[in-house]
Structure 1
Amino acid sequence: MSAAPQIKIPATYMRGGTSKGVFFKLDDLPERAQIAGQSRDQLLLRVIGSPDPYGKQIDGMGGATSSTSKTVILAKSSQANHDVDYLFGQVSIDKAFVDWSGNCGNLTAAVGSFAISNGLVAADRIPENGICTVRIWQANIHKTIIAHVPITQGQVQETGDFELDGVTFPAAEVQIEFLDPADDGEDGGAMFPTGNVVDSLEVPEIGTFQATLINAGIPTIFLNAEELGYNGTELQDDINSDVAALARFEKIRAYGAVKMGLIQDINEAANRQHTPKVAFVSKPKSYTSSSGKQVSEIDTDLLVRALSMGKLHHAMMGTAAVAIGTAAAIPNTLVNLAAGGGEREAVRFGHPSGTLRVGAQALNEKGQWVVKKAIMSRSARVLMEGWVRVPADSF
């Protein structure tokens, strides 16, 4: 019996925000995987341990959740005035595909750190002590992101006292700026693809819901918790243990994707699991977070729960936080109304693991809403570095 040898590929396993992923330098990948296509996808699937009908990813680096089934490919930037090109792949857990349709805002916090430590940022741009500003080109969505990475004695500082709900241990704060985060019309239209800040979303056999459909950070469908029969304080088990509820959310997501112009037919949604996201909002209420932390009604401006890859997220996706901040800054969206309405440049929202603050500046230019920048703080840390091994015949 012949057996294929295992090959080893340089890789780094990193936490960024409330996500984890396997990071690669583009030129470290096997030659045929350096080009987008089937070989690359098959390689990343094998690295992560997908598709896994058991849903555990035991034979790979994935953690069997949407937050931990992620891959990142980085290279010196091909764009002027940028340091690094950032390509993100969301790996399906139980299906054989990698979704390249969107960004991961959480892992963005780790991109700057990796780029500095792996020679993708020019040495003369890295201070001996202070903050290194890393200019990131997000290749999935063609947007610029700025990461402000702390440096101590010429090295990335990863430890610190910044606390992020959803992450157990404190670390160094990394401020992230998402420049011009709204869609530019290439994929589904403008910031509000229907031209409305609130639409009626009709979902056959389920109902008609008020919805804010927004392209900012990541395409997102915002709904009112009460219309769905929820109060906005739900934790993961309240949703993820309810098979019927998950199926209902997926159907809502599919019809919302069609209305946003992201797909032409609801059947296409199965092959576009990463986008759009579905989230539901409500006015502030007191609740106990998943860690047992008490969140008071006065601690937040609103509550938000979001689904990613078919399950309720344990905290909040970074890109969805950008969508929340953007929508909150625009009067009369469902997010803005849940936060009390009016004009605002920042919002603190409650999620299953605690709270998060995100800022955004919205302007109305010639009757169209535009957002110049959204800002939030995350943290990042290298968990392991070396080589990942895969069978040579797996891709």
Structure 2
Amino acid sequence: MSELLDKAKKIKKASEILKKMNAAEKNKTIMEIAKEIKKNKDYILKENQKDVLLAEKKGLKKSLVDRLVLNEKRIQGMINACNTVINLKDPVGEIFDSFLRDDGLRISKVRVPLGVIGIIYESRPNVTLEATILSLKSGNTVLLRGGSDAINSNKAIVKTIKSGLKKSNIPESVIEIIEDTNRDIVNEMLKLNDYIDLIIPRGGKGLIDFVVKNATVPVLETGVGICHIFVDESADIKKSIDIIDNAKTQRPGTCNTVETVLIHKNIAEKILPGLKNRLEEKNVEIRGCEETLKIINVKKATEEDWKTEYLDLILSIKIVNEIDEAINHIKTYSTGHSESILTENYFNAMKFINEIDSAAVYINASTRFTDGGEFGLGAEMGISTQKMHARGPVGLKELTTYKYLIFGNYNVRE
């Protein structure tokens, strides 16, 4: 029996046990996991360093190496995520809609776990921990298939998680990781309908497109992020530069990083020189449209730039004549992730948020806030850019479905 099938069977069996666990038992388990993460911090960091050194040896760009890196702060972030999820309300069993018919029949909707979740992801070893605690709390088991670039980190984290599970009443097999890094495994995993209830891909466009096109298991599509910021003519220049700087440079390898800035023609000459200076101080390569090039000396943008998620210190800039042109550009090139307007004009702000149909739409804020932790979810399984079932950061409630409960008194239909 293959590793994939063996672990899929184990996790399916464990799913039936986990469904019966109450919130207190699940919270105790997550607490034990947090303790083990803290206790085994040095071991995890040592294994992570193996992945980082290999990535650097391969010549991976800095922004992508950063996605692999674990450090003291990020380990503490993992522990904090455990504590936050513990304190969140358990969604399982929540009755969120109910009505009583004239004949006394009570019909209610109650949240239940999805069952077995398979997550296929690249880099970011912290996803291993986040996916586990969110799945546990929402009553789901999780089958992990991380990328080969983070295999040492992921195995170390899973080993540590299982140490925590041993100290609880929840079986270790509620989480399993596929250690075989052969890419053919992914294609097999996408077709395990008898064992997996939902697949969540988390990574670049290539991975997500492959999963969507090849899976027979239902897929929750998460986010390629071609994110935009529109600087309206009424925007505060200094504050706008601060926001663009944050949205581009804080962590350029993330899906909520801004990739294109649209600037109203009436403010372009006022903001562009200062914006160029700020970004170039941080080694950002700017690519501008023809009108941008008339104001600042930067590389010329091509049509391909508007379609690109750089995940790097690169930013494309386009000058627009009016807000409608900005909105139309976003509608054309957006991946439905996160967009922001910087403005002092209430009516333009309302127009923007009403007409832009992305998962997260901001007024006067950085797109970097699109994150499960920042949205109070403790962690996330990814940012959903689709519209069915879940949208935006995927947290506990998004990892449940519902069933109808009908209470009667020997009712018959006439």
TM-score normalised per structure 1: 0.29
Greater share of residues in strand: 1
The structure having more radius of gyration, on CA atoms, is: 2
TM-score normalised per structure 2: 0.28
Greater share of residues in helix: 2
